[in-house]
Amino acid sequence: MRIVVTGGAGFIGSHFVRSLLAGAYPPLAGAEVVVLDRFTYAGCRANLAQVADDPALTVVTGDVCDAALVSEVLSGADLVVHCAAESHVDRSIADGGEFVRTNVLGTQTLLEAAARVGVGRFLQVSTDEVYGSVEHGSWHEDQPLHPNSPYAASKASADLLALAFHRTHGLAVCVTRCSNNYGPYQFPEKALPLFVTNLLDGRKVPLYGDGGNVRDWLHVDDHCRGLALVAEAGRAGAVYHIGGGTELANRELVARLLELLGRDGTMVERVPDRKGHDRRYSLAFDRISEELGYAPRTGFESGLAETVKWYAEHRDWWLPLRQRLAREASPA
Ligand code: NAD
């Protein structure tokens, strides 16, 4: 079996690749794995260091918008797990161009090639953000899309393209939409690793608005197990939610981090709210539970404590990334 993981040097893609090569997904065991990654600021070779010498892994540096390269890489692939994306909402608010290019054009380029070369199955890895904000209850998979940020709009567009390729070309597409992931190797511009690494460095945590925005938290390991389940037995043309079942307001998340790191409320700095900030996301994930036997396994308390410990012990991983971000924010 040949599996192509786009964005396999990012946070979620690299977790999927490390787990797959470690044998965590028995139906996919023994596969030849190809990572296709452009190594943007968010792609890190260090994320794949543990498996770099595995003969089953090939890493191709390249762009998902490069049609010739994509055709070559996808030839003979049984499964594509499409994680490559511009993924940071704040960057999409500052400038959405790269989001449309990678997330929409890149996905279309992959889908065209997948349909042409006859890829067995295509997983479009997406997000709860495509639905916009929900005040009460939880979204089901048939909820109309109402994305509010350029990032979410680009992901919604890519999801629709993927489903259209199923309908039009018969490509075996599954779309997965998940909650906010957390875990090791998450780029330190994202909220949770930003908060943790700030606190580890003795800096304040920037909290948007009143801190009341609610997110559902999902350990990256549970997300990737959900992806493997959908890869193995998901219905072609179906959308599956992968949720974590732990909803928290951002200020509650920060309170837990302060407690874990022995800090107090003086380490929190209120900052003006993000433009168009969705108030709450919430996914119903009974479809994947009932059809594929998915349930999150990592309890939030232990998962969060282990994640904080991982960042505390892996300063060598995140410090250079933070320094690069700082240089980017104020070039000399
Ligand atoms: P990430 O930003 O950590 O990684 C993205 C990866 O894609 C990087 O390795 C980057 O180099 C690569 N990439 C970017 N542009 C590319 C291009 N044009 N060609 C090839 N590679 C390119 O993102 P992540 O957090 O791992 O997210 C992975 C996927 O999961 C994304 O599609 C994202 O929308 C989705 N998602 C993430 C979350 C989350 O909480 N992190 C939640 C829901 C959905």
Nearest CA to ligand 1 atom 44: 127
Expressed in percent and rounded to 5, the helix, strand and coil fractions of the chain are: 45, 20, 35
Q: From the CA of 235, how far away is ligand 1's center (Å)?
A: 24
180 Cβ below 6 A of ligand 1: yes
Report the distance separating Cα 204 and Cα 273, nearest Å: 16
Picking from 222, 217, 326, 209, the residue whose alpha carbon sits closest to that of residue 268 is: 209
Instruction: Tell me the pLDDT tens digit for each residue of 47-84.
Output: 999 999 999 999 999 999 999 999 999 999 999 999 99
Cite the DSSP H helix spans in the chain. Answer: 11-21, 67-74, 89-94, 97-99, 107-117, 150-169, 191-200, 220-233, 250-260, 286-292, 300-313, 315-329
Number of H helices, E strands in the chain: 12, 12
Q: Which amino acid would we find at residue 120?
A: G
Least confident of 80-84, 255-259, 309-313, 323-327: 323-327
Q: From the CA of 317, how far away is ligand 1's center (Å)?
A: 18
Picking from 272, 183, 176, 282, the residue whose alpha carbon sits closest to that of residue 230 is: 176
Average pLDDT over residues 250-271: 96
Contacts of 161 (CB under 8 A, 6+ apart): 104, 107, 108, 111
321 Cβ below 6 A of ligand 1: no
In 3-state terms, what secondary structure has residue 205? strand
Q: What pLDDT, on a 0 to 100 scale, did the predictor assign at position 331?
A: 73
Alpha carbon of 118 to those of 115, 234, 287: distances in Å? Answer: 5, 18, 27
Selecting among 25, 151, 182, 294, the annotated active-site residue is 151
pLDDT tops 90 at residue 330: no
pLDDT tops 70 at residue 332: no
Q: From the CA of 7, how far away is ligand 1's center (Å)?
A: 6
Picking from 86, 85, 80, the residue whose alpha carbon sits closest to that of residue 116 is: 80
What ligand 1 atom has the least distance to the C-alpha of 64?
19
Q: Which amino acid would we find at residue 113?
A: A
81-113 burial, b at 16+ Cβ within 10 Å, e below that, comes to: bbbbbbbbbebbbeebeebbebbbbbbbbbbbb
Q: What is the dihedral of CA 232, 238, 243, 245, to 10 degrees?
A: -110
What ligand 1 atom has the least distance to the C-alpha of 155?
34
Q: What pLDDT, on a 0 to 100 scale, did the predictor assign at position 328?
A: 86
Is this structure's pTM higher than 0.85? yes
Q: Which of the listed CATH numbers 3.30.450.20, 3.40.50.720, 3.40.50.970, 3.30.160.40 matches domain 2-182+218-242?
A: 3.40.50.720
Q: Which residue has 């990592």 as its token pair? A: 298
Nearest CA to ligand 1 atom 28: 83
pLDDT tops 70 at residue 151: yes
pLDDT tops 80 at residue 179: yes
Active site residue 129: yes
Nearest CA to ligand 1 atom 10: 43
Instruction: Tell me the pLDDT tens digit for each residue of 290-317.
Output: 999 999 999 999 999 999 999 999 999 9
Residue 108's pLDDT band (boundaries 50, 70, 90)? very high
Report the distance separating Cα 197 and Cα 310, nearest Å: 11
Contacts of 88 (CB under 8 A, 6+ apart): 42, 151, 187, 189, 190
Report the distance separating Cα 195 and Cα 204, nearest Å: 8
Whether 77 contacts 171, CB under 8 Å: no
The residue extents of the domains of the chain are 2-182+218-242
Picking from 193, 194, 191, 156, the residue whose alpha carbon sits closest to that of residue 274 is: 191
Nearest CA to ligand 1 atom 35: 126
221 Cβ below 6 A of ligand 1: no
11 Cβ below 6 A of ligand 1: yes
Active site residue 151: yes
Q: Which of 4, 5, 6, 12 to mutate to test the pocket of ligand 1 (most atoms within 8 A of CB)?
A: 12
Report the distance separating Cα 18 and Cα 81, nearest Å: 14
Strand partners, 80: 4, 122
Measured CA angle at 36 (ends 30, 39), to 5 deg: 130
